[in-house]
Structure 1
């Protein structure tokens, strides 16, 4: 199916609804996984979804990342020279260096302990003064990530850097606010590059075997240290995505209000614990399935190929529809229903990642593809926040503005951040 009109502005206006609207205009059935061919930014583009689309998109012999994403989105979000933009051996070397840190089970346990501490502090502030789920968990997650990485920061600077990262995420990708994201990216780059340079010069002593120490010694395929600016970008890419989990926490709060039976179930299972609660992990995974972070991602074809009988030519763009894949009735039983039970049989994050169509943070293998290596950390942070949100001392606002969000805005979230009321005495 083909639609010929330029769709770049339509994408910016439609956000997470873009793919479904394009399929509708092209006359493709809602249940069909047939590719749709369109024009975006002057280039022939193929919109794909489902397991077939995932297999194509993460096939490094047919798809590359370099040059696929518009710079005004790529640079604020990922940074120049980031692993997300690399291909081939260069990508494999960089990805392994980062996955060895973020995906390592022992390091994930360390992070889980830290995020539990930070969320307990958040809980105390909520009881005293109230707050908002989105910003307060984003700061808590950021503080835990900085401590986990071994970055030497005062309490005040941890809060400030986490809020900068969160503001970047709130403003990138929209024409009106993207300059704010670009400004925050420049400030964060200067800070992170300075950290790397100071560690390399011996002015800061990074803890042995810390993320900071490894990033300061990050090396390319030639065995040489990468530029300090690139190492600083990757240091951010090992911490900023954890801040982004605050958006999922806001969605989780709204969903707990809509499903009080799950709040009660998680509360009963957790007892006094914040972490390692299977029911909360399943709830977190279902939140990530039904509330995608990004609507789609682009790649460029490196050879002629075809998908479901649709011919695709070298140099053309492929858009993987995240929303359509995560909610496809061909991939998920009762796809439109919020049902954490679907994830309870899976033992740990890695088993859930093996579901081909489960791509909230990318698809394929962590070491072999472009899947985010921070997925275990993200689920640990989000599931702990979910347990916190079920405590009887935490009162989530049920006002309409706290529970609704625009599907046409990227990145979306409830505008209020979802308010928490101070405990009543």
Structure 2
């Protein structure tokens, strides 16, 4: 579902079919939880969503409950793409690998944020204007498609010095860069299109870097590591392969 999200053709239809199948499967889990046939821990996401009721005491319908659960699973799977880019950055900028391998966490969050700024994932997000408006001389009518250029904004020379260079020393953070640094959208997660899972994304990238540098050793064979901006979602051409993976002692 993630790999084929940016394409058109048979692969897209297959991705949509897989999405519908997943919705049906999770919907059945919700039904079983509600009937008592499936007992899950009280704080498990599936149970929390299944037993949620609104202000009128009404539960979510099965289809909506399934979508909400997928909305938890899908981003956690999708950000594996950023973790792959973090591994690529460690390989391309070995001084950062050595720093983190030595147990130094200073700069780790900034490293994760710079990965999200420089390396492309989905380059833009789109939506329809809900009402007519004008912005900086541009007029938008109700229903017009609007595209927010995520990758272009994150690599804008007016916002970042040497934007094509990997510089974690910028000290970026989604918490303080409202509409300049927008790998997941901009603004306040509660009111605008900044992804509410951004804090989890950064935390998972940081933990992945710790694992890659401190808990495991591996080799990177010769491969094509070029990243095409014409591919959505983007990734290194070879997918960044590693081999001879083994646990580090201690």
TM-score, normalisation: structure 2: 0.88
Identify if the C-alpha distance between structure 1 residues 297 and 392 changes in structure 2 by more than 3 Å, giving closer, same or farther: closer
Q: Which residue does the alignment assign to 2:6?
A: 173
Q: Which residue does the alignment assign to 2:150?
A: 322
Contact 1:197 1:228 in 2 (8 A): yes
- Considering only aligned residues, what root-mean-square deviation do their CA atoms show, in Å? 2.3
Written as runs of structure 1 = structure 2, the 5 A alignment for 1:39-78 is: none
Q: Which residue does the alignment assign to 2:201?
A: 378
Q: Which residue does the alignment assign to 1:359?
A: 182
For 2:19 and 2:82, the matched residues in 1 are separated by 22
For 2:100 and 2:40, the matched residues in 1 are separated by 39
For 2:8 and 2:103, the matched residues in 1 are separated by 45
Contact 1:284 1:383 in 2 (8 A): yes
Q: Which has the higher contact order (CA 8 A, sep 6+)?
A: 1
Identify if the C-alpha distance between structure 1 residues 221 and 317 changes in structure 2 by more than 3 Å, giving closer, same or farther: farther
Contact 1:299 1:318 in 2 (8 A): yes
Kindly indicate whether residue 66 of structure 2 is the aligned counterpart of residue 232 of structure 1: yes
For 2:81 and 2:106, the matched residues in 1 are separated by 21
Aligned length: 245
For 2:130 and 2:215, the matched residues in 1 are separated by 54
Quote how far apart the aligned CAs of 1:261 are: 0.8
For 1:210 and 1:393, the matched residues in 2 are separated by 30
5+ residue gaps, structure 2: none
Q: Which residue does the alignment assign to 2:99?
A: 265
1:44-77 Cα distance to aligned partner (Å, 9 max, x none): xxxxxxxxxxxxxxxxxxxxxxxxxxxxxxxxxx
Contact 2:223 2:240 in 1 (8 A): no
For 2:131 and 2:245, the matched residues in 1 are separated by 60
Quote how far apart the aligned CAs of 1:386 are: 1.5
Secondary structure of the corresponding residue to residue 2 of structure 2: helix
Identify if the C-alpha distance between structure 1 residues 229 and 263 changes in structure 2 by more than 3 Å, giving closer, same or farther: same
Kindly indicate whether residue 117 of structure 2 is the aligned counterpart of residue 279 of structure 1: no
From 165, 190, 201, give the equivalent of 2:35. 201
5+ residue gaps, structure 1: 1-167, 271-276
Identify if the C-alpha distance between structure 1 residues 404 and 372 changes in structure 2 by more than 3 Å, giving closer, same or farther: same
For 1:408 and 1:207, the matched residues in 2 are separated by 44
Identify if the C-alpha distance between structure 1 residues 217 and 392 changes in structure 2 by more than 3 Å, giving closer, same or farther: closer
Quote how far apart the aligned CAs of 1:322 are: 0.6
TM-score, normalisation: structure 1: 0.54
From 88, 109, 114, give the equivalent of 1:254. 88
From 303, 309, 314, give the equivalent of 2:137. 309
Secondary structure of the corresponding residue to residue 179 of structure 1: helix
Secondary structure of the corresponding residue to residue 231 of structure 1: helix
Secondary structure of the corresponding residue to residue 284 of structure 1: helix
Quote how far apart the aligned CAs of 1:208 are: 1.5
Structure with more helix by fraction: 1
Contact 1:394 1:420 in 2 (8 A): no
For 2:119 and 2:56, the matched residues in 1 are separated by 40
